[in-house]
Amino acid sequence: MDLLKLSFYLRKDGVESALEKSHRGGHLWIFLAEPLPARDRRIYLCSLALRVGIPVKGSRQGEGVEVFPKHDALKPGRYGNAIRGPLGIHRGATQRFWFDGTDEDLERQMCCLNSLPKMTHDQLARLIAGKAIPPQLASRELTAEPKMRSHTSGPEFRILDHINTKLRTVGRNNITRCPSCAEEGHDRSGDNLSISIEDPLKYICWAGCTRDMIRAAVGCPRPVQSV
């Protein structure tokens, strides 16, 4: 299991983690002694996972572990990821998921979590010295379809006309399953494709599928333009 493997290598780096069960697998938590920059945490975790052969979602390897927070920074007026706190009640499953390592008792679980060494600023700085976000995981912006040339016939491609899966709103984007990922049997959580609410011509697959791949998957490949 990837999370157990990641936990092993975290411990070799002197970083303690806690494995929480979930209705779809598990979550590996790292607790901090102080607020630390999201980008620095992502540099460490993504670099470590890829170095030891653990696929990371968003690296064009299909499915993989998800690293939260998913953003290095937020633009004004935007919100980050909503994350259920440790030992909180899951709204969908309507139950609490327990951590490995102690009895399924709320007080004992809290004592166990409180006893874990917390990551410090100096520790993280040593772990990421000389490192950067792996290029295949660098943050990307939603981009629009290129304008069609005036002599090109046919209607403008609109991704929402070809999406038949459920949309859900996260911040200023609609999130849904990526058709290209789905063809390959990936994106089980149905959240790889992000479509701008303000400008639906802007969309991106966070797992790395190109617009050409997405268009081909929905049966609307980009027309060949003559030069």
Domain identity same for 87 and 126: yes
What does the block give as tokens for 184?
A: 């390959």
Angstrom distance (rounded) from CA 208 to CA 178: 10
The 3-state DSSP class for residue 41 equals helix
**Within a domain: 168:** yes
- The answer to the question of residue 223 being in a domain is no
- Is 227 contained in some domain? no
Q: Copy the structure tokens of residue 66.
A: 């998800």
Where among 111, 137, 163 does a domain terminate?
Answer: 137
**Using the 8-state DSSP alphabet, how is residue 135 labeled?**
G
The answer as to whether 81 is a domain residue is: yes
Residue 174 resides in a domain: yes
CA distance 201 to 146: 9
Residue 142 half-sphere exposure, CB side, CA atoms within 13 Å?
18
* C-alpha–C-alpha distance, residues 57 and 49, integer Å: 11
pLDDT by residue, tens only, the chain of 227 residues = 789 999 999 999 999 999 998 877 789 999 999 999 988 998 999 899 988 999 887 665 557 888 887 777 776 776 666 777 888 887 777 889 999 988 999 999 999 999 999 999 999 999 999 888 777 666 555 566 655 444 445 578 888 998 888 888 877 788 898 898 888 888 877 888 888 888 888 888 877 788 888 988 988 887 766 54
CA distance 147 to 204: 17
Going by their DSSP bridges, the two strands 143-144 and 202-205 should be labelled as: antiparallel
Question: Do 131 and 52 reside in the same domain of the chain?
Answer: yes
For residue 174, what are the CA distances in angstroms to 157, 170, 201? 17, 6, 12
Say yes or no: 118 and 156 in one domain.
Answer: no
Q: Give yes or no: residues 67 and 149 share one domain.
A: no
Listed residue (152, 130, 115, 100) closest to 40, CA to CA: 130
Same domain, 206 and 109: no
Q: How far is it, in rounded angstroms, from Cα 186 to Cα 189?
A: 9
Looking at the structure, tell me whether residues 25 and 55 fall in a common domain: yes
Same structural domain, 96 and 150: no
**How many domains is the chain partitioned into structurally?**
2
Whether residue 128 sits in one domain with residue 17: yes
Pick the last residue of a domain from 92, 114, 137: 137
Alpha carbon of 124 to those of 33, 66, 73, 118, 192: distances in Å?
A: 11, 19, 18, 11, 29
Q: Which two tokens stand for residue 155?
A: 């209607």
The residue range of the domain holding 67 is 2-137
Asked whether residue 222 is domain-assigned, the answer is: no
Q: What are phi and psi of 51, to 5 degrees?
A: -65, -35
CA-CA-CA-CA torsion sign (27, 33, 35, 40): negative
pLDDT for position 132: 84
- The reply to whether 50 and 92 lie within a common domain is yes
Query: Model pTM greater than 0.85?
Result: no
113 falls within a domain: yes
User: What letter represents residue 84's amino acid?
Assistant: R
Domain for residue 96, yes or no?
yes
Residues 167 and 78 in one domain: no
Question: Do 94 and 8 share a structural domain?
Answer: yes
Residues 9 and 110 in one domain: yes
Pick from 105, 137, 169: which residue ends a domain?
137
